[in-house]
Amino acid sequence: MPFNILVLACLTYVAILFLVAFVAERRASRGMQGFLRSPLVYTLSLSIYCTSWTFYGAVGYAARSGLEFLTIYLGPTLVFVGWWWVLRKLVRIGRQQRVTSIADLISSRYGKSNTLGVIATVIAVVAATPYIALQLQSVTLSFGAFASGTPEGWGMSGPASTGLWVAAGLALFTILFGTRNLDANEQHHGIVMAIAVEAVVKLVALLAVGVFVVWGLADGPADILAKIDASAMATWTLQPGRWTGLICLSAAAVICLPRMFQVMVVENADEAHMARASWAFPAYLFAMSLFIVPIAVTGLERLPAGSNPDMFVLTLPLAEGQGALAMLAFLGGFSSATSMVIVESIALATMMSNHVVMPVWLRLLPRSAARGDLRWVVLLARRLCIGAVLALGYAYFRLSGGSGELATIGLIAFAGVAQVLPAVLGGIFWRGATKAGAAAGMTLGFAVWAYALFLPSFGPDAVISADVFADGPWGIGWLRPQALFAVEGMDPLIHAVFWSMSLNTAAFLIGSILTFPDPVERMQGVAFVNAFDDEAQTGPLGWTRGQAEPEALLMMAQRILGDDAALSFFEVESAAQGKQGYLPDATPGFLAALERRLAGSVGAATAHAMISQLFGRATVTVEDLMAVANETAQIMEYSSRLETQQDELSRTARQLREVNERLTQLSLQKDSFLSQISHELRTPMTSIRAFSEILSDGDLPADRVAGYGRIIHDESIRLTRLLDDLLNLTVLENGSVQLTLGLANLGQMIDRALAASSHTRPERSFDIQRRMGSEEIFLTTDADRLVQVFINLISNARKYCDSADPILRIAVRQKGGRVSIDFIDNGAGIPREAQAVVFEKFARLPDDKGAGGAGLGLAICREVMANLGGTITYLPGQRGAAFRVTLPLRLEKRDAAGAL
C-alpha cells in the first residue's frame, strides 16, 4: 500500500476525530450533555488503559510468554469489580476536592504541599517517558510494517525520523485538542468523546482481526484450540512470582497511571457511572483479550520465522492480502497510540504546569498573581509541557534503540507509576499518613525503581556501566542493580518491583508514624479519609483575616477562569450573601469556595498559594482544630458534657420541685393568712366600733365609760402593733433600715431578751438553761435589732412549747468569725412539712394554744438577721423546736449592705 495513502488515511482519521471533539465541545457548551456524560461514554473513555501495548504488544507478549499477558488485564478487572473498596472513594474525593491530577490529589491530601506535588509529578513524567516511547515505537513499527511491502520502502530516512514525525504530529494534535481553553473543571468533553470513538475503533479493529483469524483462517474455536495445543505456545510456564506480581502491578497501575486518573476521576461526571463501569470496563478488557492468543498462534504458524510478533495484528491481514482489514487494524493501533498520548500528555502537562511551572512563576514574579495574564501563562505552560513530554518520550525511544519488546517497556512504566500507590492509598484510608512519610516513601521507591529497573533498561554501559551490573557500584556486591541486598535469581522486573514497593511502603509507614502532621494536613486527612461522612466535610481552611479587596480577588479570578466565568461565579456568590452586584464580601466561606474553584483550574497548591499572596496566610480556627481532634477525645468530651448537663438538669429539677412545694404551701398560707389577718384586724375593729357606738349614746356610768375606753385603747394598741409589725417587715425587706452598730455583750443581750419576753404567758415557769461563760462575747452589731430577734424566739418558745415542764436551752458557740446562738426547747417542735415555711410571712402553726400571733415574728427575724449579715435557721432533730441564729462577730457597714 502506498505510504502516501497511509498518511492520508491517518490525516483523514484525525480530521474526523477533530470533528467529533468539536461537535462534542459545542454541544457541551450549549448544555446539551445528555449523551456526552453517559455511563457508556465514561466506560469507553476508560479504555485508554488499552494502548498500542494492548493492541500490538499483547499478541507479541502472548507469543513469547503464553497466558502471562492476561495479568495486565486481570489486575484492572479485580480493581474495577472491587470498585467499592478504592475507586468509589477516589472518585468521591476527586469530586469533593476538585482534584485535577493524581499529583494534585497527593498534594492536596498532605496539606496542599507543593513539594509532594512536585515529587509525584516527577515520578509520573519519568515513568510515562518509556510508555510514550512505546506508543511512538508501535506507530513507527506499524508504518514500517506497511511500508516494507511497498516498492518505495520507507519513503523516509528510517524509523528514527518516522518516530520524530509521529512525535511532532502527536504533540501538535494534543496541543490543538487539549489546550484550546482552560476549563474550570479540567474536564475536556471533546477529548473524552474523541477517546470514546477511538475506543470503539480499536475494539472493532481488534475483534475484526480476531474474527478473521478464527473463522477466516481457521475453522472456528475448536480448530483454534487444537492449533493452540499443537503450536509452540501449547505449554506455557506459569511463574508464580511473575503471575501474582504482574497482577498486583497492573492493579496498582490502573489506579495510579496519570491518564487513567484523568479519565476516571477528573473527567467523571457522575459517581453512579462508576457502578456501570465496574463491569463494563472489565468486559471491554475481556473483549480486547479474547482473540489475542488465536492471533498469536496463527501468526506463529503462518508468518515466516523471525517476524516481529508485536506486529502480528497488522502483518497477518497484510500477509493474507486483506488490505482493508489491515487498514482497519492500522487505524485501531493508531487510535490506541494517539488516545493514550493525548490524555497522558494532557494529564502530565496539567501536573507540570500546576505543580512546577506555576509555583516557579509565582515565586519569580509574585505580583503577577494580581496583574499578569495568567490564563495565557497557564496555557502556554501546558503547551510547552506537552511538547516536553513528547520530546522525552522520543528521547527514550532513540536511547533505548527502539527495538525493545512493547510489553517490557510498558511494564517499566507501570512499576514507576506504582510508586505513588502507598501515598495514595495511605492518604485516603489512614489519617496517620503524613507529608514526611509520603515524601520519604515516594522518593525512596522512585530511586530504587530508577536504579534497579529504569536506568538498566537502556542496556549495559548506556547509563549504568557493565561493571556495576556485574559487581555493584564501587564493588559493593549487594548493591548490584539487579540483585539488591544480594537477592539473586529473581526476575529483574519482579525484583525491582518487590524492592521498590517494599522500601517505599516501609519508608512511608515509618515516616508517617515518626512525624507529626501540621493542622492543614490533619484537616485534609479527615476530609479525605471520611469522604463518605458528610459531617467530616468541615470545608477547607478558613481564611479568617479579612484584608483582601473583593475587587482584587475578582481580577485574579478573571485571569484564571476567564471574564464571564469569574463574573458569574462572583455574582452567584454575591447573591448568596444577599448582596447586589458582583462583589461579595470576602468572607471565609466565599474565599474557600473561590479557592476550590481556582483549584479546579490550577491545582490545590497553586490556588492556595495565589490566594495567600493576596490575602496573607490562612489560619486554622479553633473549630477546625476541634474537628480534627481525635474522635475518641471528642466522644469522651461529648459524653462527659452530657453527664454534666444531666447532673445539672436533675439538680435544677430537684430545686424546682422544692420551690414548687414551697410555693404551693405559701399560697395556701397566704389564703389562710388573709382570712386570719382580716379576722385579726376585724376583731379589734369590731369591738372598737361597738364600744365607741355605746359610748356615743351617752348616759352611761363613768366607770363603764372608763372601762369601755380602756378596751378601745387596748384594742387600738393591738391594731397598732399589728400594723407596726407589718410596717417593720416591709422596711426590713426593702433594706431601707438604718442600723446603729455598736459593741454589745451577748450575755447581756440575752438577759434583756429574757426579761422582755417574760410577759408572754407569765403563768408558765420556764427552766432556762444557759452557760454564762460561753456568752461572754462582745459583738459589733445592732444590739436592739438582735435583742428583738431573741425576744421573738424566746416568746415563741414560751407560747408554743407544749411540755409540762418546759425547758429552754440557750447554747452559744463561736467558730471562725461567727457566733451561733441556739434556742432549743423541749416541746413537740415544728412538724417537718412546716419547717420549710416557718420563716415565711404569715406562717402560723396550727394554733391550739390560741397564742394569736399574726405569723410575722419569724419573718421579721429572718429579715433582721439578713440585715445583720447573719442567718436564722430551724435546727431539726433536737427533740423540740430549735432555732439557730448565726451572725458575724464584727459587722462591717459593707457586710450589712452586702447582705441585703
For binding to another protein (CB under 8 A), which residues are involved? 66-67, 70, 74, 77-85, 88, 92, 225, 228-229, 232-241, 243-244, 247, 271-272, 275-276, 278-280, 282-283, 286, 289-290, 293, 489, 491, 530, 532-534, 536, 631
Helix (H, G, I), strand (E, B) or coil at 745: strand
- Inter-axis angle of helices 323-352 and 374-399, nearest 10: 130
User: How many C-beta neighbours within 10 Å does residue 123 have?
Assistant: 28
CB 884 to another protein: min, Å = 57
243 or 469: CB nearest another protein: 243
87 or 789: CB nearest another protein: 87
CB 244 to another protein: min, Å = 6
Between the alpha carbon of residue 658 and those of residues 603, 606, 645, 896, the distances in Å are 65, 65, 20, 28
Contact partners, residue 333, CB within 8 Å, separation at least 6: 52, 55, 56, 138, 139, 142, 202, 205, 313, 314
78 or 156: CB nearest another protein: 78
> Residue 453 has which C-alpha cell?
529497573
Between the alpha carbon of residue 57 and those of residues 135, 141, 333, 841, the distances in Å are 10, 11, 10, 105
313 or 526: CB nearest another protein: 526
CB 614 to another protein: min, Å = 35
**Secondary structure string (H, E, C) spanning 395-450:** HHHHHCCCCCCHHHHHHHHHHHHHHHHHHHHHHHHCCCCCHHHHHHHHHHHHHHHH
CB 492 to another protein: min, Å = 10
223 or 725: CB nearest another protein: 223
59 or 787: CB nearest another protein: 59
CB 44 to another protein: min, Å = 16
CB 488 to another protein: min, Å = 8
Q: Do 581 and 574 contact (CB within 8 A), yes or no? A: yes
27 or 95: CB nearest another protein: 95
CB 239 to another protein: min, Å = 5
Per-residue buried b or exposed e for 849-860, using 16+ beta carbons within 10 Å of the residue's own CB: eeeebbbbbbbb
Query: Which of these, 356, 458, 355, 397, lies nearest to 128 by C-alpha position?
Result: 397
Angle, alpha carbons 423-428-433 (nearest 5°): 55
Contact partners, residue 781, CB within 8 Å, separation at least 6: 741, 742, 744, 868, 887, 888, 891
222 or 702: CB nearest another protein: 222
Query: Of all helices (H) and strands (E), which one includes residue 248?
Result: helix 240-256
80 or 883: CB nearest another protein: 80
CB 595 to another protein: min, Å = 24
222 or 772: CB nearest another protein: 222
CB 54 to another protein: min, Å = 15
The runs of H, that is alpha helices, within 257-322 are 258-261, 273-290, 292-302, 312-319
488 or 585: CB nearest another protein: 488
Per-residue buried b or exposed e for 535-566, using 16+ beta carbons within 10 Å of the residue's own CB: ebebebbbbeeeebebeebbebbbbbbbeebb
Beta bridge mates, 769 = 809
491 or 802: CB nearest another protein: 491
> Residue 823 has which C-alpha cell?
434556742
155 or 432: CB nearest another protein: 432
62 or 175: CB nearest another protein: 62
CB 79 to another protein: min, Å = 7
Contact partners, residue 428, CB within 8 Å, separation at least 6: 86, 89, 90, 93, 109, 528, 529, 531
Contact partners, residue 659, CB within 8 Å, separation at least 6: none
Query: In whole angstroms, what is the distance from residue 458 CA to residue 466 CA?
Result: 12
For residue 685, report the phi and psi dihedrals to the nearest 5 degrees.
Answer: -65, -40
For residue 440, report the phi and psi dihedrals to the nearest 5 degrees.
Answer: -65, -45
Question: Residue 879 corresponds to which amino acid?
Answer: R
85 or 376: CB nearest another protein: 85
> Residue 683 has which C-alpha cell?
376583731
Query: In whole angstroms, what is the distance from residue 809 CA to residue 69 CA?
Result: 109
CB 77 to another protein: min, Å = 6
Q: Do 790 and 753 contact (CB within 8 A), yes or no? A: yes
- The residue to which cell 485534609 is assigned: 524
> Residue 833 has which C-alpha cell?
412539712
CB 449 to another protein: min, Å = 21
250 or 669: CB nearest another protein: 250
CB 635 to another protein: min, Å = 9
CB 250 to another protein: min, Å = 12
CB 501 to another protein: min, Å = 17
Contact partners, residue 593, CB within 8 Å, separation at least 6: 573
Contact partners, residue 615, CB within 8 Å, separation at least 6: 543, 545, 547, 548, 586, 591
232 or 470: CB nearest another protein: 232
CB 115 to another protein: min, Å = 30
CB 591 to another protein: min, Å = 26
CB 89 to another protein: min, Å = 9
Query: In whole angstroms, what is the distance from residue 603 CA to residue 105 CA?
Result: 9
Query: In whole angstroms, what is the distance from residue 196 CA to residue 482 CA?
Result: 40
Contact partners, residue 207, CB within 8 Å, separation at least 6: 287, 290, 291
440 or 526: CB nearest another protein: 526
Of how many residues is the chain composed? 900
